[in-house]
Structure 1
């Protein structure tokens, strides 16, 4: 065995958690996300051209990776393999839409917004301001007839308005639930990518570890007993 082959065989890989590996591939190496063609588009001609890309951007509501090449035109082959794995996220975990989301978040170095610290609070839906400050507004929800009593009333009847202060919850519990459900779906997709990269064993200079982001970062870990 030559000296060169011995050095190559003992090369130490760079250990990265899956989120760090994704950010390295898409943010540093600027790997492209090559999404598979839809069933009704052929590979002939320009079936996957600008028109299709623009259409997908409109349908998915976000930008599709691609077109941003690294200076010098070279992307590390490990980064390309990571991007190819992301592109293969199955439909059961979100498919193309999730692949785009994973890639875009990694390119920006972000974690999905799970609305940390969000607590629904009861707030008035109508707010009015006057010289005395800000106060909750009211609406008429009905009327009631009451009999007047007291000196001079003589048992007369009077119609009065019943007022109520409409309220809502902000942020709404459904908003918080949706944000955290979206985080959970992203987390599951990262787990699939991590498992695929580890099982494949095809990365040459990067080793994806079992490390994952917190599964439910909004849940506080109970203090350990002394």
Structure 2
């Protein structure tokens, strides 16, 4: 996915390129190489709810002084819209993960990835010890106890014999907690993208890009 900078015109009216928020993020961070400039730490007396669109407006004002465009892309120009998108991500509120989520959103967009929610993952009972021999692969065992049993010998005589009690240690893989954590992480990312999308649409600060209402699938593990 590449956004060409020359914008077509119809009847003299600028036609914006429509992108969903995930595509817009990937364009900004992956294609335009926009950098994430996080706001400085707030004073201890202030409540940490992020900077929101106020911070983005300040960033926009700063961009207005740079006629030649962005300053981050080495050997080239970073589109102003990409800078605004990056500034919006940087303003993610603490209630949605703040700076840590902003970094995660930017890194995933730069790599063109969606968080791994472990599709199709089901906890399975598997042995923790696996052995291989000429007959194939089989579960290993450990001695968990020793019992003495009476064994009838030759004639009428009986003897005592020690016998190992064996067990196969098992575990569940993947752990249910792993699956839950992966899907909770996806949901947090989705909520962050929703906030960024709403901010970009409501802010109306993009000149050549139009962010649509399109979103990645919410909780895809519940579908089908």
Would you call these one fold, judging by a TM-score over 0.5?
yes
Counterpart among 188, 210, 214 of residue 213 in structure 2? 210
Structure 2 partner of 1:126: 129
Unaligned segments of structure 2, at least 5 residues: 1-8, 44-70
Alpha carbons of structure 1 residues 153 and 119: separation in structure 2 relative to 1, 3 Å: farther
1:37 equivalent to 2:40? Answer: yes
The whole-number CA distance in structure 2 between the counterparts of 1:101 and 1:192 is 14
Alpha carbons of structure 1 residues 68 and 104: separation in structure 2 relative to 1, 3 Å: farther
Contact preservation (8 Å) 2:142, 2:169:
yes
1:13 equivalent to 2:22? Answer: no
The whole-number CA distance in structure 1 between the counterparts of 2:164 and 2:23 is 62
Range moving further from structure 2, 162-171 or 151-160: 151-160
Structure 1 partner of 2:57: none
CA RMSD of aligned residues (A): 2.2
Q: CA deviation at 1:220?
A: 2.9
Structure 2 partner of 1:71: 75
Structure 2 partner of 1:105: 108
The whole-number CA distance in structure 1 between the counterparts of 2:180 and 2:22 is 23
The whole-number CA distance in structure 2 between the counterparts of 1:85 and 1:124 is 48
The whole-number CA distance in structure 2 between the counterparts of 1:120 and 1:164 is 21
The whole-number CA distance in structure 1 between the counterparts of 2:183 and 2:131 is 34
Contact preservation (8 Å) 1:29, 1:70:
no
The one-character-per-residue Cα deviations of 1:86-123 (angstroms, maximum 9, x if unpaired) are: 00011111111110110111111111111222222221
Q: CA deviation at 1:75?
A: 1.4
The whole-number CA distance in structure 2 between the counterparts of 1:164 and 1:68 is 61
Contact preservation (8 Å) 2:35, 2:86:
yes
The whole-number CA distance in structure 2 between the counterparts of 1:22 and 1:155 is 80
Alpha carbons of structure 1 residues 138 and 92: separation in structure 2 relative to 1, 3 Å: same
The whole-number CA distance in structure 2 between the counterparts of 1:34 and 1:152 is 90
The whole-number CA distance in structure 1 between the counterparts of 2:98 and 2:155 is 78
1:197 equivalent to 2:177? Answer: no
The whole-number CA distance in structure 2 between the counterparts of 1:194 and 1:70 is 27
Q: CA deviation at 1:218?
A: 2.1
Q: CA deviation at 1:201?
A: 1.3
TM-score (normalizing by structure 1): 0.75
Q: CA deviation at 1:149?
A: 4.4
Structure 1 partner of 2:58: none
Counterpart among 157, 160, 168 of residue 160 in structure 2? 157
